[in-house]
Each structure stands twice: as structure tokens, then as C-alpha cells.
Amino acid sequence: MDTELTGAEITIRCLQEEGVDYIFGYPGGAVLYIYDELFKQDKVKHVLVRHEQAAVHAADGYARSSTKVGVALVTSGPGVTNAVTGIATAYMDSIPLVIISGQVPTHAIGLDAFQEVDTVGITRPCVKHNFLVKDIAELATTIKKAFYIASTGRPGPVLVDIPKDVSQQKTAFAYPESVAMRSYHPITKGHAGQIKKAAQLILDAKRPMIYAGGGVILSNAAMQLTELVRMLGFPCTNTLMGLGGFPATDKHSVGMLGMHGTYEANMAMQHCDVLIAIGARFDDRVIGNPKHFSNEERKIIHIDIDPSSISKRVKVDVPIVGSVSEVLVELIKLLKTRKERPDQIALKAWWTQVDLWRARDCLKYDRASAIIKPQMVVEKLYQATKGNAFITSDVGQHQMWAAQFYKFDKPRRWINSGGLGTMGFGLPAAMGVQFANPRGSVACITGEASIQMCIQELSTCKQYGLPLKIVNLNNRYMGMVRQWQEFFHGNRYAESYMNALPDFVKLAESYGHVGMKIEQPGDIEGALKEAFKLKDRLVFMDFITDQTENVFPMIPGGKGLSEMILV
């Protein structure tokens, strides 16, 4: 311990101590010492992306599909500004990341030095926390704190900005075993009295509904949620972020809710008498207009680790602050000790109602169409992968069809940018997923507009031999923009048509991958089978789909849950 290490060595040693196996990054002037240390060891493997946005999305995909913290490394100035979209994406979806950024030397800070940017200032609103390390003595503790803050409480990205001279200076290294911060004590254990109140409401419910969000995934509470739902026999809906938190193929599942949720899920949300919200935040894409939502009377139980999520958009009756998994364990335990059961006759009547709503078959589409229907591609993908693939998506119509038609039975299999809605997320996120799950099947459902926002990563995929399967639902439109223009802007398709598209087959081939173009509905299945047979190749499947297809059901912006537009 008496030998002194440079800041760069300390940085890498800290990553090793944290058990980091992959970091995603792009070198540059301010991080050269750190890259030099990366070069000298082989415990932490570096993945070279082609754009810093992709580094953060890849680290993000890595974190979402595992239970680990994702790590990205970028240089100062443009390195950081490119990373901001990725950081904001992770922040909105509460994904634990540590981003290490280089900074100009401390003596140059504030002097408009080359590649200088106020990183801490620029990222402040889109990180859980950030640090500028001006003193090498603080470096190891700061990195420890960063991992601790990122992964505890409501998770989120934490950025550590390291000036070049700090990475060069030397000091003795000792990695702290733990951190104590007087200003940060996330609560994980739910209040026993509140859990008791919740149990009573649950037992008294006549028209109960369980509404589970991304918090279930983040808290690794899918097992507990599944146990609770099956024990109670209540209907359960998952948010876009919560898909896989409860098995979609279970009879108690009423599918996703929200703007493009199922008729049955939205109607049950609106008309239930007791709502159990678990790791969800009543956001605008989920409950629509909060005024309309509160037109119906219901009691709400809300379990969330973040007190500020509670009573933010909707007033709740029984708030329980705590980690979803811990609270559910306690709640299940308590319910098991109680002799009463929910009113079975009322529950049966409620299910009859829910099944009537379900019978509307709100996700139906023209299966006999001569043009490829995007929904059918997702359904066939589901069948081809037996529901076992990791699915990433970009943002738009294809994202919604993926969420509606791929039935996720397991958590951490559905990887998408829900909060920020970041086009360009899908491909780099899929890379991170593949690194975290080297033996898993990883498919990226995308569209011809989204994929072009990070298409350069096909090069990264080639370098690391990532056998991703890209399912491009190509309708030559920014489909969701076009849909809104059709519904709300008098069919004036302002700048939503994608002209001058590349030949995606040739494009994939030019990067050394396999490209396929599929134009007939009858060819979907064969193409998918063939693609998944190519186990070590990236296959880019360009599906030419119906340009006029819309996502249904749809709740128009500002409308309520029961005001859906149906097919």
C-alpha cells in the first residue's frame, strides 16, 4: 500500500474493485492517461463505440438486462455533450450508471480551454448526482460514492468528472469498503402501519387492480409481484417500463396500460375501486389526464422508493415509501397471516366485466393483408424466439407494437427508452445487452427513422462480433409522427416522410453483416428462422411494412383512460 498510484490507475483499480467487467467508451485528450491504464490490464474490458451517445446507451442496456451498474467513459467537451442524450435517457428511466468523463486540467478550468465544457453544469439536471474531482485524495472515495448512489434508493446515473492533471497526479490508494453520507439515506423498509392499512384495503376491495411499473424490474421484485397477484387473483397491468415484471401470458395479466395500452387494462384502471400502484408513477402517458382519472372514485395504495413520486400527479390514500421488493415481501407475509380473503363473489363479477372488455380484442389487425403488417412481424418474432429473447427497441410505432405483441414473461428482457423516448437507443442498447448476456438472443425492433440515429454502431457490432438481430419495420415514415399528423393535423405530413433511404441490405453488408429485405407477409417467418440460425452473425432484416398502419388503441393527448380511439 505504500506505493503511490496515479489518478488514472486509481480510476481503473476502483472499477476492478467494483467488479466492472465491461466499460463502454471513446478515447480523447482528457482521458488519455485513463486509457493508458486500461491498456495495461485486462480485468476491465473496454468496448469502443462509434459515438459517445452509444457508449451511454450500451452501458444502459447492459445495466437494464443485468442487475449491475453500467459504466461509460468519455472525454471532455464534445465527448460529454454527445453523452448527454444517453445520460438523460438513463435518468428518466432510473437506470444505475456511472459515467466517467475527462475534464481539462484543473488550472485550465474556466478559461475556455480546448474541449472544455462545464460538464457538472450541463449534466446536473439529468443525473442523480455528479462530482468534479479536483483533489486526487478524493478520487477513490468519490468513485465509491458514485457506484453507491447510482445503485441504491431510486437508481440513476452518476457522473464523475476527472480533470486530466488529477488522472496524472499520484497518491496512496485504498478503496473504501463502505460509504457513509449524512445527507443520503435511502429508505428501503416500508412503514409497517402503512402496509397494514394497505392489506386492509386489499381485503376489502370489490374491483381491485394491480398497476405495476418499472420499479418492480429495478427492485428485482418480479417474483414477489407474481406471488402477490396469483395469491389475490386480481387483474394486473404493467406499464411500458414494467413489462416482464408479471408474466404477460398469465391469465391475470390484462396487458400494458396507457396511451397505447389495452382496452381492458385502461378500463379496469379507470373503474377499479382499489388500485395498488407498485413502482409506478402515474405519468402522462399512463393515466392520461389526471382530472379525468379522478372523476371515478377509488382508493389508491402506492408503493414507491421515491417519496417525490408519491402524490405528484395523483393524490393517493396509502403511500408506502420503500423498496418494492421489501414492501411486497412484508405485504405478502401479512396477507398470509390474515384469515379473511377478498370478496370472491365481487371479484368474480369484476373479472366478468374485465373479460367483457377483453373481448373487444383491441389489438386486432388485418392478418390477411397482402402488405406486411408490422404487428405480424413482432408476433412472428415472438414465436421464432419462443418469447425468450432480449428485445430492445427504438422509439415510435414499432416500440408500441413490440410492447403490445411480444409477450414478456420475464423481467429485464424488454429494454426501451420509456421516459425520454430516445430514438437511436435500440441498437447501442442491444450491444450492451449482448455483452451482459453473451449467450442470450438479442433482437432490436426498430424503424427506418430511429435506426439511422445510431446506425454507426453497426461498426462496433462488427468489431466485437455481436450477433444481434435487427428487425427494421420500414414504413418510410416517422410512423408515430405520421399517425399524430393523420389524427390531429389534417393529414398534413410535415417532414415525416423518410426520403432517400439507404439500401439497408447493402448497408449491413458494407459493415460486414448479413442483410435481408422482406416484402411479403409469407416470408416473415422464414426470414426470422434463417436469421436466428446465423448464430454468430448480425442480421439486419428490413421488413417493408404497411405505410398506413396505426397503433391502436390510442388515448389522445390530454384525454382520459376511457376515451380511447379503437380500431
Partner 1 sequence: MRHIISLLMENEAGALSRVAGLFSARGYNIESLTVAPTEDPTLSRMTLVTVDSDDVVEQITKQLNKLIEVVKVVDLSDGVHIERELMLVKVRAVDKGREEIKRMVDIFRGRIIDVTDTSYTIELTGTGSKLDAFLDTIERSTILETVRTGASGIGRGERILKA
The residues annotated as belonging to the active site are 52, 114-115, 164, 480
- 273 burial (CB, 10 Å; 0-12 / 13-18 / 19+) is middle
Q: Which of 13, 50, 51, 128 binds partner 1 (CB under 8 A)?
A: 128
Stretch that binds partner 1, among 38-46, 210-218, 308-316, 378-386 (CB under 8 A): 308-316
Q: Which of 19, 110, 193, 307 binds partner 1 (CB under 8 A)?
A: 307
Task: Verify binding: residue 110, partner 1, rule CB under 8 A.
Answer: no
Place of cell 377499479: 272
Task: Verify binding: residue 40, partner 1, rule CB under 8 A.
Answer: no
Task: Verify binding: residue 129, partner 1, rule CB under 8 A.
Answer: yes
Least distance between partner 1 and beta carbon 130 (Å)? 8
Task: Verify binding: residue 149, partner 1, rule CB under 8 A.
Answer: yes
Measured from the CB atom, is 123 or 226 closer to partner 1?
123
Least distance between partner 1 and beta carbon 180 (Å)? 13
For residues 297 and 463, give the distance between their C-alpha atoms in angstroms, rounded to a whole number.
57
For residues 61 and 333, give the distance between their C-alpha atoms in angstroms, rounded to a whole number.
34
| CA-CA-CA-CA torsion sign (254, 213, 424, 35) | negative
CA 201 centroid distance within chain: 31
Task: Verify binding: residue 308, partner 1, rule CB under 8 A.
Answer: yes
For residues 184 and 5, give the distance between their C-alpha atoms in angstroms, rounded to a whole number.
29
Measured from the CB atom, is 320 or 481 closer to partner 1?
320
Give the count of residues interacting with partner 1 (CB under 8 A). 18
Least distance between partner 1 and beta carbon 128 (Å)? 7
Query: Max alpha carbon distance in the chain (Å)?
Result: 74
Task: Verify binding: residue 535, partner 1, rule CB under 8 A.
Answer: no
Q: Among candidates 351, 346, 205, 354, which has minimal Cα distance to 265? A: 354
Q: Which of 108, 120, 179, 203 binds partner 1 (CB under 8 A)?
A: 120
Measured from the CB atom, is 161 or 326 closer to partner 1?
161
- Per DSSP bridges, beta strands 170-172 and 4-6 are antiparallel
Measured from the CB atom, is 233 or 290 closer to partner 1?
290
Place of cell 392478418: 367
Task: Verify binding: residue 200, partner 1, rule CB under 8 A.
Answer: no
Q: Do 200 and 266 meet the contact criterion of CB atoms below 8 Å apart?
A: no
Stretch that binds partner 1, among 128-136, 205-213, 263-271, 331-339 (CB under 8 A): 128-136
- Which residues are registered as beta bridge partners of 516? 541
Measured from the CB atom, is 118 or 523 closer to partner 1?
118
Task: Verify binding: residue 306, partner 1, rule CB under 8 A.
Answer: yes
Least distance between partner 1 and beta carbon 132 (Å)? 8
Measured from the CB atom, is 155 or 374 closer to partner 1?
155
Measured from the CB atom, is 214 or 553 closer to partner 1?
214
* Contact track, partner 1, 155-194, x by CB under 8 A: --------------------------xxxx----------
Strand segments, DSSP code E, in 7-142 are 22-25, 45-48, 70-74, 97-103, 129-132
- DSSP class of 169: S
Least distance between partner 1 and beta carbon 165 (Å)? 17
Contacts of 180 (CB under 8 A, 6+ apart): none
- Helix axes 479-488 and 397-405, enclosed angle (nearest 10): 100
- Which residues are registered as beta bridge partners of 97? 70, 157
Least distance between partner 1 and beta carbon 125 (Å)? 5
Contacts of 16 (CB under 8 A, 6+ apart): 41, 43, 44
Q: Do 363 and 375 meet the contact criterion of CB atoms below 8 Å apart?
A: yes
- DSSP class of 66: S
- Per DSSP bridges, beta strands 299-304 and 318-321 are parallel
Stretch that binds partner 1, among 51-59, 67-75, 127-135, 239-247 (CB under 8 A): 127-135
φ, ψ for residue 332, nearest 5 deg: -65, -45
Measured from the CB atom, is 306 or 486 closer to partner 1?
306
Stretch that binds partner 1, among 289-297, 301-309, 470-478, 558-566 (CB under 8 A): 301-309
Task: Verify binding: residue 125, partner 1, rule CB under 8 A.
Answer: yes
Contacts with partner 1, residue ranges (CB under 8 A): 120-121, 124-125, 128-129, 132, 149, 181-184, 306-308, 310-312
